[in-house]
Amino acid sequence: MEIHGYICGPRLYEFEEWFFEESSYGGPWPLRKDGELRKRAGRKFWKMWTKFDAMTDAQKKKCRVGGGCQQF
C-alpha cells in the first residue's frame, strides 16, 4: 500500500512587475522579492489586481510562477 498526500500553499504570480500570492482563504496580497508579505497593499497594487482578475484562467496561468498544491 502506498500513501499519497498533498501539501498546499498560495499560488504565486508575477504580473506588471508585481510579485504576489493568491489564496482561497486570504485572497491576493503583494510579496517582497524575498517572498515575504508586504506590510500593506496600496492603490497601485489593487489597480493591477483589477486588471489581473479580469484575465482568463489561461492568461493567469501564464503569469503563475509557483505555489499551489503539490503531491507527495
CA distances (Å), origin 9, targets 13, 16, 22, 47: 13, 22, 9, 24
Q: Is the pLDDT of residue 51 over 80?
A: yes
Angle at 30 between CA 40 and CA 36, to 5 degrees: 90
Buried b (16+ CB within 10 A) or exposed e, 29-63: bbbeeeeeeeeebeeebeebbeebeeeeeeeeeeb
Looking at every residue in the chain, the average pLDDT score rounds to 94
Which pTM was predicted? 0.86
For residue 54, what pLDDT is reported?
A: 98
